[in-house]
Amino acid sequence: MSRKRYLFFDIDGTLLAGGPLGYVPESTRKAIRKLEEEGHFVSIATGRAQFMAEPYMRMLEMENMVSDGGNGITIGGKLIGIEPLNKADVVALIRECEARGFTWGLAVDNSDVRLVPDERFYELTHDNYIRCKVVPELDPEDQEIIYKAYVVCKEPEEFTLESLKKLPWCRYMPEYFFVEPTDKAAGIRRMMDYYHADYRDAIVFGDGLNDMSMFIDDWTTVAMGNAVPELKAKADLITTDVDKDGIWNACIRLGLFDA
């Protein structure tokens, strides 16, 4: 075979077709199996929390994953660890939000529970992304670790939060934004360092703006045919759409296995 390569795949729009409730194309499953048979290393690379992404890892019969936007590492099916956010920076953000009257929540463990100080978070968002657990007099200072924070405000009010400038964040919902890691490349480097592998042997696959952080010059980058234009502009290779054998076709073009 060619030299061992380390492949990292985003989930939605890369491994998964048809949106978050979509499906994995058979050609993608076949490609993952073929890569492993050829001795290559395969891993998911996702912004999702580890507990949310693990079912996809199991479904694809994979054992390795960069999760939590680059802060979580799972190797051989075992969670090695998740790096938390800087607590002091999160506390400063929450204090500013409280002064502004913005309600908030915290993720303090690897579970589907969001801690909130009162009922306002759910009343304002009606969000079921993860469950809200009301903790009266909740104080971020009392938390040993903080993985994510959530702040309810209308766009573009987040740009007026001075303390937010020190933290990674993104907005997926119109009602609130996420304070969470956004550097998948950092997790990929950690994974490669774990195996003492050369960064030049890594190949990353993505389709969305949240994949921009891992489309860097350190390794080979592959954009799906359905990827956003900004990502395609940074890619070393553009393959076909996820539902048009995109993963399989890219592997063939890269010489990772024979058709």
pLDDT in tens, the chain (259 residues): 569 999 999 999 999 999 767 899 999 999 999 999 999 999 999 999 999 999 999 999 999 999 999 999 999 999 999 999 999 999 999 999 999 999 999 999 999 999 999 999 999 999 988 999 999 999 999 999 999 999 999 999 999 999 999 999 999 999 999 999 999 999 999 999 999 999 999 999 999 999 999 999 999 999 999 999 999 999 999 999 999 999 999 999 999 999 8
Looking at 133, 154, 179, the residue that finishes a domain is 179
CATH number of the domain encompassing residue 115: 3.30.1240.10
Find residue 149's DSSP bridge partners.
106, 179
Range(s) of the domain holding residue 144: 87-179
Q: Are residues 78 and 188 in the same domain?
A: yes
Q: Are residues 226 and 247 in the same domain?
A: yes
> Cα–Cα distance between 212 and 205 in angstroms, integer?
11
CA distances from residue 79 to 145, 188, 250 in whole angstroms, order as listed: 17, 15, 29
Beta-strand (E) ranges in the chain? 6-9, 41-45, 65-67, 72-75, 78-82, 104-107, 113-116, 131-134, 148-152, 169-170, 176-179, 202-206, 220-223, 237-238
Q: Would you call 158 helix, strand, or coil by DSSP?
A: helix
> Of the candidates 17, 9, 12, 26, which has an alpha carbon nearest to the alpha carbon of residue 243?
17
> Cα–Cα distance between 22 and 64 in angstroms, integer?
21
Q: Are residues 21 and 131 in the same domain?
A: no
Q: Per-residue pLDDT tens for 126-150?
A: 998 899 999 999 999 999 999 999 9
Inside any domain, residue 258: no
Looking at 179, 198, 218, the residue that finishes a domain is 179
